[in-house]
């Protein structure tokens, strides 16, 4: 395969971890006989510093003309003044909107080698292998009206949770298609006992489910889901939900694994390119020290291979290599137990390449 991949390293530890993702993709190209052409573009705080725009037009054009995008992270204290007109996160939201990325997939897998890293008991998280499919371009974060005003009664603010049936249907189809490749179960999460948007969500979820008789479908209220993610996390396969519920549940679910440094994600629309990125931020507290865990980015590169380029065998090879490195006892600082030796960012990347 001949594929063009745009790299958006971004800020903080972004460039450090993206370099390791690239290293692994280059190793995959070598081993499987593909040709990957990489180009790097500015995004986030560094793009504000150099161009005044968190998502410069050249960056968007580079992403549009590529087959997949690998992103590091954006943001940091330098750009976090709440009064600033331009912020790094605008680059992220802009990229999602411009590329029509409506589905965010966050797999949460507890590898046996890391069961001890979870704040939950190892027996509670054994066998966890779930994916949260979060709606990314609708709901409360985008609905209008949104804003605040001063009324005779004092300050008042509003956000709007609106979904159309088309937005719900396309998200549910992503979830059901994914479940077909996994354990064939979808949990649709809503708040249908209280909210009108959730009742529409549930109705459309059931309509889509009729097209997938081979996939089991259950409804769960979001508050119950938050509880079951702790009580019986291994029972979940694919969780499909709206934007804000998904935002909150996926951070909760990330703790099943114990480290943000392990969790990849994919943001997909119709067609190419998808954007693949670790769920963690730019970690300014450890940036520039060569100690960040690159595995979330390397596992995002595996998702890029599978969902972005259709290279399932190559993706599985990367995932197996990561498991092998962890099973051999190698740990970055965020995962190491007291007294255990700590591998640096580049060393961890080299170990994965060697395991490939
Ligand atoms: P963060 O994810 O950057 O860091 C939280 C904690 O986890 C820190 O202690 C950090 O050192 C640690 N951590 C994160 N990734 C790690 C890794 N790969 N290896 C080892 N340790 C890791 O979240 P934060 O501190 O709340 O945010 C920092 C900045 O990142 C903010 O500006 C925020 O807006 C931004 N952010 C960006 C994204 C994104 O680009 N998608 C996501 C979240 C936060």
Q: What percent of the chain has pLDDT over 90?
A: 89
Q: How far apart are CA 285 and CA 18, in angstroms?
A: 18
Q: How far apart are CA 65 and CA 38, in angstroms?
A: 12
Considering the candidates 141, 184, 228, 235, report the single residue annotated as catalytic.
141
Question: Which pLDDT belongs to residue 194?
Answer: 97
Q: What's the pLDDT tens digit per position in 121-154?
A: 999 999 999 999 999 999 998 899 999 999 999 9
pTM of the model: 0.92
Q: How far apart are CA 330 and CA 340, in angstroms?
A: 9
CA distance to 212, 272, 273, 327, per residue, from 62 (Å): 37, 13, 11, 38
Ligand 1 centroid – CA 345 distance (Å): 15
Nearest to 243 by CA among 147, 161, 169: 161
Q: What's the pLDDT tens digit per position in 184-201?
A: 999 999 999 999 999 999
Nearest to 92 by CA among 137, 62, 131: 137
Q: What's the pLDDT tens digit per position in 172-183?
A: 999 999 999 999
Domains of the chain: 1-105+262-356 (3.40.718.10), 129-255 (3.40.718.10)
Q: How far apart are CA 28 and CA 13, in angstroms?
A: 23
Residue 328 has pLDDT above 90, yes or no: yes
Considering the candidates 11, 219, 247, 334, report the single residue annotated as catalytic.
247
Q: What is the DSSP string of 213-277?
A: TTSEEEEEEHHHHHHHHHHSGGG-SEEEE-HHHHHHHHHHHHTTTS-GGG-EEEEEESEEEEEEE
Which is the closest atom of ligand 1 to the Cα of 44? 40
- Mean pLDDT over residues 44-57, rounded? 97
Ligand 1 centroid – CA 272 distance (Å): 27
Q: What's the pLDDT tens digit per position in 245-293?
A: 999 999 899 889 877 889 999 999 987 799 999 999 999 999 999 999 9
Question: Which pLDDT belongs to residue 230?
Answer: 96
3-state secondary structure 296-335: HHHHHHHHHHHHHCCCHHHHHHHHHHHHHHHHCCCCCCCC
Question: Which pLDDT belongs to residue 111?
Answer: 86
- Of 260, 276, 289, the residue with max ligand 1 atoms within 8 A of its CB, to mutate for a pocket test, comes to 260
Considering the candidates 11, 23, 191, 219, report the single residue annotated as catalytic.
191
Which is the closest atom of ligand 1 to the Cα of 77? 32
Nearest to 316 by CA among 356, 264, 344: 356
- Of 94, 119, 283, the residue with max ligand 1 atoms within 8 A of its CB, to mutate for a pocket test, comes to 283
- Clarify whether 214 is annotated catalytic: no
Q: Considering the chain, what is the average pLDDT of its residues?
A: 95
Ligand 1 centroid – CA 287 distance (Å): 10
Considering the candidates 129, 235, 251, 350, report the single residue annotated as catalytic.
251
- Mean pLDDT over residues 344-353, rounded? 98
Residue 97 has pLDDT above 80, yes or no: yes
- Clarify whether 334 is annotated catalytic: no
Residue 227: band (very low, low, confident or very high) from pLDDT cuts 50, 70, 90: very high
- Clarify whether 235 is annotated catalytic: no
- Clarify whether 191 is annotated catalytic: yes
């Amino acid at each position: 395969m001949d594929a063009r991949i745009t790299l958006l390293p971004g800020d903080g530890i972004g460039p450090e971890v993206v370099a390791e993702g690239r290293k692994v993709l280059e190793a995959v190209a070598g081993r499987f006989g593909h040709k990957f052409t990489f180009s790097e573009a500015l995004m986030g705080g560094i793009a504000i510093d150099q161009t005044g725009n968190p998502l410069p037009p050249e960056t968007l054009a580079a992403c549009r003309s590529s087959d997949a995008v690998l992103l590091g992270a954006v943001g940091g204290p330098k750009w976090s003044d709440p009064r600033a007109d331009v912020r790094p996160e605008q680059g992220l939201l802009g990229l999602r909107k411009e590329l029509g990325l409506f589905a965010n997939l966050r797999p949460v897998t507890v590898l046996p080698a890391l069961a001890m890293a979870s704040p939950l008991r190892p027996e509670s998280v054994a066998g966890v292998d779930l994916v949260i499919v979060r709606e990314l371009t609708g709901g409360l974060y985008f609905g209008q009206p949104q804003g605040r005003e001063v009324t005779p009664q004092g300050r008042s603010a509003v956000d709007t949770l609106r979904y159309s049936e088309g937005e719900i249907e396309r998200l549910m189809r992503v979830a059901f298609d994914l479940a077909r490749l996994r354990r064939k179960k979808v949990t649709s999460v809503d708040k249908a006992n209280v909210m009108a948007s959730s009742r529409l969500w549930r109705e459309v979820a059931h309509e889509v489910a009729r097209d997938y008789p081979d996939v089991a479908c259950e409804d769960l209220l979001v508050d119950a889901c938050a509880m079951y993610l702790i009580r019986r996390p291994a029972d979940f396969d694919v969780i499909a939900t709206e934007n804000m519920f998904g935002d909150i549940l996926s951070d909760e679910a990330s703790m099943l694994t114990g480290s943000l440094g392990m969790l990849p994600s994919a943001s997909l629309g119709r067609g190419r390119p998808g954007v693949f990125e670790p769920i963690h931020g730019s970690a300014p507290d450890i940036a520039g020290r060569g100690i960040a865990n690159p595995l979330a980015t390397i596992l995002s590169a595996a998702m890029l291979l599978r969902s972005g380029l259709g290279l399932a065998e190559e993706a599985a090879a990367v995932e197996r290599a990561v498991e092998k490195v962890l099973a051999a006892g190698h740990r970055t600082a965020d995962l190491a137990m007291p007294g255990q030796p700590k591998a640096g960012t580049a060393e961890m990347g080299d170990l994965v390449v060697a395991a490939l």
